[in-house]
Amino acid sequence: MTTAQSSFRGLANVSFFADDLDAARTWYTEPFGIEPYFVREGYLEFRIGDHLDELGIIDRTYVPGAGGPSGAVVSWHVDDLSATLDRLLALGATEHEGIRERGEGFTTASVVDPFGNLLGIMTNPHWLEIAGR
């Protein structure tokens, strides 16, 4: 383990994929007891729990790299998305989805680690707001 400070600040978002986004919305609304707070074509998001953790559900047609790694994507908030992505790639990860602006200050990227797992990183203003409380 190195003594350098990690750029991974905290869990920011978990994204699941669904073939039927409307059915997933209905299903997840029931156990959470709330409607998603954010909805756009192909995506919806709940904020749940004491820390308003984010669960995004993405229409499966938007899975990047169809036929490759897929499944839940856990995204960690980082302050410098580009530098963190470059570091992960230098350490042997392969790009899954490059840096992508999602709107309203949310920017994401993901890699496949050397073991075949998806690892998401993002800048997440919601995470910063909650962390600052």
What are the tens digits of pLDDT across the range 25-76?
999 999 899 999 999 999 999 999 888 999 999 998 887 666 667 678 899 9
Residue 82, in any domain of the structure: yes
Residue pair 73/15 in contact (Cβ under 8 Å)? The answer is yes
Range of the domain at 78: 11-131
Residue 4, in any domain of the structure: no
Residue 63, in any domain of the structure: yes
Residue 116, in any domain of the structure: yes
Going by C-beta distance under 8 Å and a sequence separation of 6 or more, which residues neighbour residue 21? 42, 43, 44, 57, 58, 59
Q: Is the pLDDT of residue 1 over 50?
A: no
Pick the range with the lowest mean pLDDT from 39-43, 96-100, 116-120: 116-120
Helices (H), 3-103: 21-32, 81-90
Residue 1, in any domain of the structure: no
Residue 114, in any domain of the structure: yes
Residue 113, in any domain of the structure: yes
Residue 5, in any domain of the structure: no
Helices (H), the chain: 21-32, 81-90, 125-131
Report the CATH number at residue 56: 3.10.180.10
Domain count, the chain: 1
- Give CA–CA dist 11/132, Å, rounded: 14
Residue 41 backbone dihedrals phi, psi, to 5 degrees? -55, 125
